[in-house]
Amino acid sequence: MKVMWKKLVEEMKEGSVRALSRLITGVENREPGWMEAMKLIFKDTGRSRIIGITGSPGAGKSVLTDQITYQFAEQGLSVGIIAIDPSSPFSGGALLGDRIRMKMSGDLGSVFIRSMATRGALGGLSQATRDVTKILDAFGKDIIIVETVGVGQDEIDVVKTTDLVVVVCVPGQGDAIQAIKAGVMEIADIFVVNKADREGADQVAIDIQGMLSMSASDEMPHIPIIKTVATQGEGIQDLTDNISKILESRERKTSREIEHLKEEILVLMEREIASSVRSRWEKNGDFDALVQKVLDRQSDPYSVVQEMIQPIQAQLGE
């Protein structure tokens, strides 16, 4: 198994798109040995800049992503796109809606697009998404864009994966109020008012500026508010210029990157422990018996959890 993963990683590093796709599929599906593959590529990561694009459904994020990607490709940059789609309720796979709307950049040789399912993860981002950004990083992509599914308040999770976050709003959807509720103000590096040819676009920009002014301080960086009409390409150059300017001004290995790594290590640890405990209890048949006790109200979920993790706590000396 290790030989297979090693061969795929080597072929991927040599530029094989087939090996890249196969590697992503294996890691996303958590095929046996996937973690060995991630260990092999990790030393070759840390070069790509990761951009998160988030916002409400219908804000035009996919078309905006397409336009931004085309601009970066025109500058000679290699771009990877991870389009987070809702999970199919039947197969658990992505529905591919975002990818279909990326018409300009989809045929460019320097662009690789991958649709991924949320798989029920909060914020629409699973740990597999983080892993795929690393694979694209090791493949040599200069820019990686993570376009989220757009499900509201949980979208703030995107900040834990990216170097820069673009929040997309549109007139007529109450995005300014939603921004306050979702805590989006704290994660946005750039606000985009898309579909700016619609009535009310100026008011959305004014509302966002007003909210930014309320929370402004001398230490806070300036947050651009850019109006675009993505379907017409209007405002895209201004947006990509601002993205490049912010990325260039940010040093690597900052506190933000440290927080990303802490979060990732903890998430991986929690999932591996949970998977090991679940496997052990399902194999010996005790899990079903405990569930039945809870069902009969002879026990409760909290006591069950404590019993399941007791061996681990004992080993840690707690």
Q: For residue 302, is it within any domain?
A: yes
Q: For residue 93, is it within any domain?
A: yes
The answer to whether 189 and 166 are in contact (CB under 8 A) is yes
For residues 130 and 267, state if they share a domain.
no
Domain boundary among 232, 250, 268: 250
For residues 4 and 73, state if they share a domain.
no
Q: How many domains does the chain have?
A: 3
For residues 108 and 146, state if they share a domain.
yes
Q: For residue 34, is it within any domain?
A: yes
State which H helix or E strand residue 50 sits in.
Answer: strand 49-55
Q: For residue 231, is it within any domain?
A: yes
Query: How far is it, in rounded angstroms, from Cα 305 to Cα 228?
Result: 50
Domain that holds residue 33: 1-43
- In sequence order, the 6+-apart residues with CB closer than 8 A to the CB of 308 are 277, 281, 290
For residues 123 and 235, state if they share a domain.
yes
For residues 184 and 295, state if they share a domain.
no
The answer to whether 9 and 37 are in contact (CB under 8 A) is yes
Count the residues in the chain. Answer: 318
Q: For residue 56, is it within any domain?
A: yes
Angle at which helices 201-214 and 175-182 pack, to 10 degrees?
A: 30
For residues 140 and 50, state if they share a domain.
yes
Q: For residue 255, is it within any domain?
A: no
Three-state SS string over 127-187 comes to HHHHHHHHHHHHHCCCEEEEECCCCCHHHHHHHHCCCEEEEEECCCCCHHHHHHHHCHHHC
For residues 134 and 238, state if they share a domain.
yes
For residues 6 and 137, state if they share a domain.
no
pLDDT of the chain, 318 residues: tens digit per residue: 677 899 999 999 999 999 999 999 999 888 999 999 999 999 999 999 999 998 888 889 999 999 999 999 999 999 999 988 764 433 444 445 455 556 667 677 899 999 887 654 544 456 788 899 999 999 999 999 999 876 454 556 666 778 999 999 899 876 555 555 556 677 889 999 999 999 999 999 998 888 888 876 766 778 999 999 999 999 999 999 999 999 998 876 677 778 888 888 888 888 888 888 888 888 877 788 889 999 999 999 999 898 888 888 888 776
For residues 169 and 295, state if they share a domain.
no
For residues 93 and 239, state if they share a domain.
yes
For residues 149 and 192, state if they share a domain.
yes
Give the predicted TM-score (pTM) of the model. 0.84
Q: For residue 11, is it within any domain?
A: yes
For residues 274 and 143, state if they share a domain.
no
